[in-house]
Chains A and B, each alone.
Chain A
Amino acid sequence: MNSFEEIYAENYRTMFRVAARMVGNIEDVSDILQEIFIDFFNKTSSGKIIQHPKSWLYRATINKCVDNHRSRKPLQDLDSANYIQAGTELVEARELNEIIVLAFSKLKPKEKLLATVYSEGLSYKEISEVTGIKFSSVGKMLSRTLKKMEIELKKQKYELY
């Protein structure tokens, strides 16, 4: 079993990306992550064994983000989640990135969550575990979510292919 420091270093960035896409406000994201890792630290140091730390952290992050989302009205526009600077990327690639983030911002909260964990490379089984979506429904929901994003991309007249 990995030490706390290893788990922290391995998962911080992933959880940061997930929370940033769901919450949008980077200061809130840092606070959320601090709370989650303190909670994780307290649990593990009090002797509780967490079998799947990554899944636990995903669930904790998602739950905290949903709580944060509920406590903030009106909801912030998730366009601000586009804090990423493409840097040396080609202009076309940056445009595509912006359009995809725009399409993402138009999704419903549950679809956003799905697209977020999907983009992190989770399997359908893992997606089901961390989001609570029925395993048999993951493929169908994902297909519809990506279709929605595709329609938005086409609206923006972006020719992906």
Chain B
Amino acid sequence: MSCIDDDLIQKYVDGETNSSEREYVEAHLSACRKCSEKTENRKLLTTAIKKSLRLSAKEAVIIPPFSPSSQQTSKNSHTLTRLSFFIPAAAVILFIILFADRRKNENMMVIEPNTGSSVDIDANRPVSQFPLVLYYIDDEGNTYEYSVK
């Protein structure tokens, strides 16, 4: 009779064999000292491993109280975390918008057709032939006027 393999011994030790496998293993173990010893050793090993890995201190693990309110706390903390990212980003964007706007106002150049009463406008002429006046407003607020003839 050939010896049984380790996988089957493991299944037998764990009580996971079906009835025919169990009968086969038991018949073999009663006749084979080597496999019988191997099975006993495997039982010792699995017991020791289970015990050591489980030794995890049932007493040492303290179960923290759980209440539905902790769920709310968690949601709030998530919101706060998101806000903490959002607020600086919003501040930077706002700063850029304001700064860009100010710069635009500082050196403003206005180009407009001179429609003042001093110049006659012939509405039948093409727009390209309208007289143009350029107003330039510098940083200090002085206005310069340029006429383009």
Residue positions of A touching B, CB distance < 8 A: 5, 8-9, 12-13, 16-17, 20-21, 30, 34, 37-38, 41-42, 45, 83-86, 89, 96-97, 100-101, 104, 115-116, 118-121, 123-124, 139-140, 142-143, 146-147, 149-150, 153, 160-161
Contacts and interface: CB of A to CB of B under 8 A. Distances in A.
A96 B48 CA distance: 8
Given A139-B8, A146-B45, 9 more contacts: A12-B61, A17-B54, A34-B70, A38-B70, A84-B60, A85-B60, A139-B14, A150-B45, A153-B45
B61 A139 contact: no
B6 interface: yes
A84 B71 contact: no
A143 B57 contact: no
B17 to A, nearest CB: 9
B3 interface: no
B50 A119 contact: yes
Contact of A143 (B7, B64, B74): B7
B110 to A, nearest CB: 57
A104 B44 contact: no
Interface of B: 6-11, 14, 16, 40-42, 44-46, 48-50, 52-58, 60-61, 63-64, 66, 68, 70-71, 74
B53 A119 contact: yes
Contact of A41 (B9, B60, B66): B66
13 contacts: A9-B63, A34-B70, A34-B74, A37-B66, A85-B57, A100-B52, A104-B53, A120-B54, A124-B16, A139-B16, A146-B49, A161-B41, A161-B44
Contacts of B48: 96, 100, 160
B71 A38 contact: yes
A20 B58 CA distance: 13
Contacts of A83: 60
Contacts of A16: 56, 61
Contacts of A142: 10, 14
Nearest to A38: B71
B42 A84 contact: no
Contacts of A21: 53, 56
A100 B11 CA distance: 21
